[in-house]
């Protein structure tokens, strides 16, 4: 037997079609084939064929249709394949006999081949699967379900073509791909993913102008017909065509399209993947970069002759003689990286490792790894807790890619070793004052020692900033400036900025000011060739206005790594409107750099100078007041943002004292604004916790650690969370503040739970419980019991977990906390469900829903509807379960919670499957899989297997508890 849905609906034997001619009979056959090997009830058949208004004779008509199908099958002795079972009908079909099953299997095989780096094999599977299509899906069939089912099948076909396009783009088969996609594009001119791939194929075959015209036409039609702008993928393809970034062949297999319902080959697909986002983290190129011809040639020599050359370029170490700072290591590395970035189509990663910061807080390898994994689009919940596993994941993601990795300002070899890729294709550039000999010996790095500028280069450097005419007018003064700046680029840049701001000043006068300036920085002795740098900085500093000079000094108190405008305003105790022009002035004088809009950073020599000046010129009370304003800014701003992240939290909130009068507080707009603020500031906040704990501000230290906990937890930064809470615990103990100690113990328990250190988590939760008992804080005790319950549930100890949840509920009732009661009732219901008492689970969840409605806690309600759906599912009440899951789904979509939306869709599919509605189950599962693939959900492959083999679906879903 051969069963066909991908074209006219029919059944054939040895190529001869059976006599199934009436559209309604073909409709019933299609419905049974879409639910092959599963019972389809008569009510389901009636709804499928006639919708919500079946005729009075519907049941009779169904029986007639079944009889006609059996009669056709009987001619080949196959009537037994269509059987009456449990109030419905089941059609037994072997997978290899159904064209849809073969097509789906081919697409799955292609996905696996692509994932394992076999693009040619993937393309073969996809083309074989697509040849099974003989025309429009479900042609000739009648029934209310047919249009939607046919549209879903058509979507799968188009997604497969898009997946084929990605693989063939990677193989450089542009001409063949154009022939394949051309008729599809004619039928679907506004399908943006298809247009994007066709554009890239045009550009890859040398037809850039037609590709750009196609974009312009498509953009106009989208605006006129749909009122929308091109999607990100189409816009990205347009940008790649404009930049001539479409190679003839790509070295790595691109990701499968999420629309195809298949997982990407890796997190952060290569640039050859038809518009996938790639990291581009290089700082801005150095304006007016001058000289360094020999070092640039040495760097160029590291690259292969052709862009796609084989082999791994060795890492590069750029170091300065004697560890000289300010010699231009970063400028050279960044400038060269921009020159060769096009040779690395999979992107560029950058990190300032802060190896020589005065405060000694260099970036730890694990911190840099987590930032890189985030840039490579690894969701936080997939980042391993252990640094060694993070490094292994990082190396895995870089395998087969061509990326440029710039590790700036490294302290030593140990700081960078975990950041080196392990496979060919990537180039690593490391800058450091250290010679990094272990990298030379063990990693095969090639040293490039960067000296001071030559006299000619220094003159050229200065000329680029003040103009060649002015340079030629006073050659002797220029020579003295070059000599007094020790041919050091940093010093020359500061002098050049001063001269450019005052074009009427004679250069001889500027040279004289340098001559009369104080001696060099105390941090540099007479053996250092940069000993004159302090003279340059002091001369430039003395040229500042009083307000600019004060701000420059106070910025030396900031913990780094960078400072935003409101924090700078708080340090100075001035309004933002007055500080903005002061920062602009410091930037113009090259004493500060605005490395991204509104965020400023120092060169480490400039930071050292600012710290020295602040200690010398600002009294202790003024320095303490500035720090107090700065810590108030971060604490009160983070507290406001933290509330927006979880307005219905169970955790007792940190109580704040009023801010100092001149501190600036930011209040982000909504949940998205709070996430953006924390994303920009969380490194600064961690540094502020550490600094506050060592400068006499213990109260700020533990409170800052408390208000950043939710963000760090949700983003998976559990190592950072543990580090901050250890500092907070010590600070709270110094203050003998039991509330602060309790907050820190809870934060440590949360971090250790996620890090898998369960015994330590138990100890911290128990100490937390003891402290809240001493404080007679029943709300704190309740939340600690919730935490213990969650930890026990993760260990599979559901009975004991239930006992702690029930204790929490009693305490929340005693404190009249309806938010706590609602969330805890859901947890209790969830645990009863895990213990098999589904009636009690449903009752608890119903009670939780009533309280969530009173509290207007939509996220709590969404999680509870999901729990309730699970309970009804396990009770066999599948229609009720479906209804509950839809309620949860609607709320999660309103809240924009994609992770939970995906999990509810997976559970909804399970409920449909248990009810015998296999078509609805597959629809829900595929929607869930699209989200799982988008978020790199750990259960994506399990769900994919569920779609491929629905008979193996588990009895229940994967409901989450609230906390």
Residues 6+ away with beta carbon under 8 Å from 131 = none
| CA nearest neighbour of 914 among 951, 867, 944 | 951
Compute the distance between CA of residue 556 and CA of residue 265 in angstroms, rounded to an integer: 46
In the block, tokens 């990605």 appear at: 166
Are residues 288 and 307 in contact, defined by beta-carbon separation less than 8 angstroms?
A: no
Distances (CA, A) of 107 to 101, 112, 128, 163, 181: 10, 9, 9, 9, 18
Residues 6+ away with beta carbon under 8 Å from 808 = 782, 783, 785, 786, 789, 820, 824
Compute the distance between CA of residue 57 and CA of residue 60 in angstroms, rounded to an integer: 5
Query: Residue 188 CB: number of other CB atoms within 10 A?
Result: 16
Give the three-class secondary structure for 11.
Answer: strand
DSSP letter, residue 225: I
Query: What is the pLDDT, as a whole number, of residue 114?
Result: 86
Are residues 143 and 24 in contact, defined by beta-carbon separation less than 8 angstroms?
A: yes
pLDDT along the chain (963 residues), means of 10: 93 88 92 90 90 86 90 87 85 90 91 85 93 93 91 91 92 90 91 92 88 88 80 81 67 32 29 52 80 84 58 48 61 88 88 77 88 81 78 83 88 88 82 77 74 84 87 90 80 82 86 66 32 60 88 94 94 94 85 83 78 92 96 96 82 83 90 87 94 95 94 82 95 95 95 87 95 93 94 90 95 93 94 92 94 89 93 91 93 77 91 88 90 71 79 52 53
Note if the bond before 182 is cis, omega within 30 degrees.
Answer: no
Compute the distance between CA of residue 824 and CA of residue 814 in angstroms, rounded to an integer: 14
Q: Which domains does the chain have, with CATH numbers?
A: 1-172 (1.10.10.10), 294-450 (3.40.50.300), 455-542 (no CATH), 546-618 (1.10.10.10), 619-776 (1.25.40.10), 815-963 (1.25.40.10)
Helices assigned H by DSSP within 282-422: 293-300, 329-340, 365-375, 387-398, 413-417
Are residues 734 and 718 in contact, defined by beta-carbon separation less than 8 angstroms?
A: no
DSSP labels, 639-655: HHHHHHH-TT--SPPPP
DSSP labels, 28-90: HHHHHHHTTTS-EEHHHHHHHHHTT---TTHHHHHHHHHHHHHHHHHTTT-GGGEEEETTEEE
Strand partners, 119: none
> Two tokens at 755?
């890090």
Residues 6+ away with beta carbon under 8 Å from 846 = 868
DSSP letter, residue 573: T
DSSP labels, 745-760: HHHHHHHHHHTT-HHH
Query: What is the pLDDT, as a whole number, of residue 307?
Result: 44
Distances (CA, A) of 68 to 5, 14, 82, 86, 581: 19, 21, 11, 20, 85
For 687-707, give the secondary structure using H, E and C.
HHHHHHCCCCCHHHHHHHHHH
Are residues 605 and 633 in contact, defined by beta-carbon separation less than 8 angstroms?
A: no
Helices assigned H by DSSP within 875-917: 878-895, 898-914
**b/e per residue 252-273 (b: at least 16 CB within 10 A):** bbbbbbbbbbbbbbbbbbbbbb
Query: What is the pLDDT, as a whole number, of residue 535?
Result: 59
Burial of 854 (0-12, 13-18, 19+ CB in 10 A): exposed
Compute the distance between CA of residue 546 and CA of residue 543 in angstroms, rounded to an integer: 9
Using N-to-C axis directions, what is the helix angle for 778-794 and 758-774, rounded to 10°? 170
Compute the distance between CA of residue 651 and CA of residue 643 in angstroms, rounded to an integer: 11
Compute the distance between CA of residue 270 and CA of residue 252 in angstroms, rounded to an integer: 7
| CA nearest neighbour of 770 among 780, 759, 760 | 780
> Two tokens at 89?
């009908």
Torsion of CA 516, 518, 524, 525, to 10 degrees: 80
**Sign of the C-alpha dihedral computed for residues 388, 390, 396 and 398 taken in this order:** negative
In the block, tokens 């969830």 appear at: 830
Query: What is the pLDDT, as a whole number, of residue 536?
Result: 58
Residues 6+ away with beta carbon under 8 Å from 306 = none
- Count the helix, strand and coil residues of the chain and give each as a percent rounded to the nearest 5: 60, 5, 30
Query: What is the pLDDT, as a whole number, of residue 245?
Result: 76
**Sign of the C-alpha dihedral computed for residues 165, 169, 173 and 176 taken in this order:** positive
DSSP labels, 825-842: HHHHHHHHHHTT-HHHHH
Query: What is the pLDDT, as a whole number, of residue 812?
Result: 94
Segment holding 117, helix H or strand E: none
Torsion of CA 172, 175, 180, 183, to 10 degrees: 140
Compute the distance between CA of residue 645 and CA of residue 660 in angstroms, rounded to an integer: 25
Compute the distance between CA of residue 678 and CA of residue 661 in angstroms, rounded to an integer: 24
Query: Residue 828 CB: number of other CB atoms within 10 A?
Result: 26
DSSP labels, 800-820: HHHHHHHHHHHHHHHTT-HHH
Query: Measured in Å, how far apart are the chain's first and last C-alpha atoms?
Result: 54
Residues 6+ away with beta carbon under 8 Å from 559 = 359, 361, 684, 687, 688, 690, 691
> Two tokens at 605?
């020599």
Are residues 682 and 708 in contact, defined by beta-carbon separation less than 8 angstroms?
A: yes
Give the three-class secondary structure for 267.
Answer: coil
Query: What is the pLDDT, as a whole number, of residue 953?
Result: 56
Compute the distance between CA of residue 862 and CA of residue 702 in angstroms, rounded to an integer: 33
Query: What is the pLDDT, as a whole number, of residue 608?
Result: 77
Residues 6+ away with beta carbon under 8 Å from 670 = 644
């Amino acid at each position: 037997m051969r069963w066909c849905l991908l074209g006219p609906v029919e059944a054939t034997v040895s190529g001869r079609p059976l006599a199934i001619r009436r559209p309604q009979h073909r409709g019933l056959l299609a419905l049974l084939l879409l639910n092959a090997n599963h019972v389809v009830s008569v009510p389901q058949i009636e709804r499928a064929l006639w919708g919500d208004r079946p005729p009075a004779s519907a049941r009779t008509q169904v029986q007639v249709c079944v009889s006609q199908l059996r009669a056709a099958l009987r001619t080949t002795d196959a009537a037994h394949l269509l059987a009456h079972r449990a109030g419905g009908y089941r059609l037994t079909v072997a997978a290899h006999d159904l064209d849809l099953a073969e097509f789906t299997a081919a697409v799955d095989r292609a996905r696996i081949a692509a994932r394992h780096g076999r693009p040619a094999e993937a393309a073969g599977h996809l083309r074989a699967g697509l040849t099974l299509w003989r025309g429009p899906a479900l042609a000739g069939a009648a029934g209310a379900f047919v249009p939607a089912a046919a549209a879903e099948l058509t979507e799968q076909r188009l997604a497969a073509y898009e997946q084929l396009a990605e693989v063939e783009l990677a193989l450089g088969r542009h001409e063949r791909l154009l022939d394949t996609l051309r008729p599809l594009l004619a039928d679907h001119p506004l399908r943006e993913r298809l247009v994007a791939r066709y554009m890239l194929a045009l550009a890859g075959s040398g037809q850039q102008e037609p590709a750009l015209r196609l974009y312009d036409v498509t953009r106009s039609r989208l605006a006129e017909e749909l009122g929308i702008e091109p999607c990100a993928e189409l816009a990205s393809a347009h940008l790649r065509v404009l930049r001539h970034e479409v190679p003839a062949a790509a070295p790595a297999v691109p990701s499968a399209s999420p629309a195809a319902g298949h997982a990407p080959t890796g997190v952060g697909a290569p640039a050859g993947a038809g518009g996938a986002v790639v990291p581009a983290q290089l700082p801005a190129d150095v304006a007016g970069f001058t000289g360094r011809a020999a070092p640039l040639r040495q760097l160029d020599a590291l690259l292969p002759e052709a862009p796609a050359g084989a082999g791994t370029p060795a890492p590069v170490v750029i170091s300065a003689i004697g560890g000289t700072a300010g010699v231009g290591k970063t400028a050279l590395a960044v400038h060269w990286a921009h020159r060769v970035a096009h040779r690395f189509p999979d992107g560029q990663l950058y990190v300032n490792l802060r190896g020589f910061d005065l405060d000694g807080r260099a970036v730890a390898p694990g911190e840099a790894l987590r930032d890189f994994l985030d840039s490579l689009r690894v969701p936080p919940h997939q980042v391993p807790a252990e640094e060694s596993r993070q490094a292994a994941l990082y190396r895995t993601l870089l395998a087969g890619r061509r990326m440029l990795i710039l590790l700036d300002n490294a302290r030593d070899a140990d700081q960078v070793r975990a950041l080196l890729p392990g496979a060919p294709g990537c180039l690593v550039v490391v800058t450091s004052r250290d010679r990094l000999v272990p990298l030379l010996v063990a990693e095969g790095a090639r040293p490039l020692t960067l000296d001071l500028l030559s006299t000619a280069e220094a003159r050229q450097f200065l000329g680029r900033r003040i103009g060649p005419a002015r340079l030629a007018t006073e050659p002797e003064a220029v020579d003295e400036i070059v000599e007094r700046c020790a041919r050091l680029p940093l010093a020359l840049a500061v002098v050049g900025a001063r001269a450019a701001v005052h074009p009427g000043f004679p250069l001889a006068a500027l040279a004289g000011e340098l001559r009369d300036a104080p001696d060099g920085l105390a941090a540099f002795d007479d053996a250092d060739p940069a000993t004159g740098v302090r003279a340059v900085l002091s001369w430039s500093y003395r040229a500042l206005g009083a307000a600019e000079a004060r701000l420059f000094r106070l910025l030396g108190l900031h913990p780094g790594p960078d400072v935003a405008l409101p924090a700078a305003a708080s340090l100075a105790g001035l309004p933002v409107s007055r500080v903005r022009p002061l920062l602009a002035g410091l930037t113009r004088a090259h004493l500060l750099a605005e490395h991204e809009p509104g965020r400023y950073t120092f060169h480490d020599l400039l930071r050292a100078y600012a710290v020295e000046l602040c200690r010398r010129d600002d009294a202790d009370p003024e320095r303490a007041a500035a720090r107090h304003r700065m810590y108030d800014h971060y604490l009160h701003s983070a507290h406001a943002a933290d509330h927006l992240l979880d307005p219905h939290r169970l955790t007792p909130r940190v109580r704040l004292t009023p801010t100092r009068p001149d501190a600036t507080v930011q209040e982000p707009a909504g949940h998205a604004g709070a996430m953006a603020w924390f994303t920009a500031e969380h490194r600064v906040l961690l540094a502020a916790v550490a600094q506050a704990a060592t400068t006499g501000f213990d109260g700020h230290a533990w409170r800052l650690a408390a208000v950043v906990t939710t963000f760090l937890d949700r983003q998976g930064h559990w190592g950072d969370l543990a580090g901050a809470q250890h500092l907070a615990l010590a600070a709270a103990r110094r203050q003998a503040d039991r509330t602060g100690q309790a907050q820190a113990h809870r934060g440590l328990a949360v971090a250790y739970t996620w890090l898998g250190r369960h015994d330590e988590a138990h100890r911290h939760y128990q100490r937390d419980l003891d402290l809240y008992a001493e404080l007679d804080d029943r709300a704190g005790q309740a939340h600690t019991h919730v935490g213990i319950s969650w930890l026990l549930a993760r260990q599979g100890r559901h009975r004991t977990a239930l006992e702690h949840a029930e204790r929490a509920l009693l305490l929340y009732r005693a404190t009249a906390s309806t938010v706590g009661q609602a969330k805890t009732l859901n947890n209790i219901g969830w645990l009863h469900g895990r213990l098999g008492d589904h009636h009690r689970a449903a009752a608890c969840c119903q009670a939780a829903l009533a309280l969530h409605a009173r509290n207007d806690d939509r996220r709590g309600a969404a999680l509870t509807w999901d729990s309730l759906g699970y309970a009804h599912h396990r009770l066999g009440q599948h229609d009720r379960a479906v209804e509950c899951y839809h309620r949860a789904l609607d709320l999660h979509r309103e809240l924009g919670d994609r992770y939970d939306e995906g999990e509810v869709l997976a559970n909804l599919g399970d409920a449909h499957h248990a009810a015998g509605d296999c078509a609805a189950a597959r629809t829900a599962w595929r929607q869930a899989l699209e989200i799982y693939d988008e978020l790199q959900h750990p259960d994506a492959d399990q769900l994919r297997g569920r779609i491929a083999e629905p008979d193996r679906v588990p009895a229940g879903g994967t409901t989450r508890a609230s906390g």
